Amino acid sequence: MNPLARKSDLFVENLPEEVVLYDKSSNKVHCLNKTAVAVWESCDGTRSVDDLMPIVEANLGAPVDRKTVLLALEELEKADLLEVAGGIVPDPAFTSRRDAMGKIALGGTALVATIIAAAPAAHASTGGDPPADTDHDHHHDHDPWHGHGHG
């Protein structure tokens, strides 16, 4: 099957050297380098890996081989950024991601880096009772306006 980029439930932020995607459904943040962005944006469900190569090359302005496109697709699929999970049939020469990483020089960086973002509720105040050591009976003793003629 031809890869299709998942666009639903994603907040996209374009930065100069990468694109940051916040996945609202999983609270994950994905940073895609230029190669991964070019592949992801070109995955419209009608293009094969061979069709993607010249498009990615044109977007990057640099040569891209099949293994690089396959590696990007594998990482995008692993990050759940493609609609059809398991839909990418790897090239027989592309035996594993580790093998591909050994054969391609990518400057030591991942194409797709993913972190789990804290859920919005984790930052909210919990409310509830004040700490047990709070002395409510003497609150007025600490009132800066008490007894200073402001009334």
**Per residue in 17-28, pLDDT tens?**
899 999 999 999
Question: What total number of domains does the chain contain?
Answer: 1
Enclosing H/E stretch for 23? strand 18-23
In a domain, 71, yes or no: yes
In a domain, 25, yes or no: yes
Instruction: Find out whether 70 and 91 touch, Cβ atoms under 8 Å.
Output: yes
Each residue's pLDDT tens digit, 51-94: 999 999 999 999 999 999 999 999 999 999 999 644 555 544 44
Residue 70, judged by CB atoms within 10 A of its CB (0-12, 13-18, 19+), counts as buried
Q: Quick check: is 130 in a domain? A: no
Residue 142 confidence (pLDDT) above 60 = no
Three-state secondary-structure class, residue 124: coil
Tell me the CA distances in angstroms from 48 to 36, 51, 53, one per residue in order. Answer: 16, 5, 9
Q: Look at residue 139 and tell me if it is in a domain.
A: no
Longest dimension (CA), the chain: 86
Query: Token match 């940073």: residue?
Result: 31
In a domain? residue 67: yes
Q: Which CATH number belongs to the domain containing residue 35 in this structure?
A: 1.10.10
- Residues 3 and 81: beta-carbon distance below 8 Å: no
What residues contact 27, with CB distance under 8 A and at least 6 apart?
A: 116, 117, 118, 119
Nearest to 48 by CA among 12, 79, 87: 87
In a domain, 147, yes or no: no
Is residue 92 a part of any domain in this protein? yes
Q: What is the pTM of this model?
A: 0.65
Strand partners, 90: none
Residue 91 located in a structural domain? yes
Share of the chain above pLDDT 90, in %: 52
User: Could you list the residue range(s) of the whole structural domain that residue 96 is in?
Assistant: 10-119
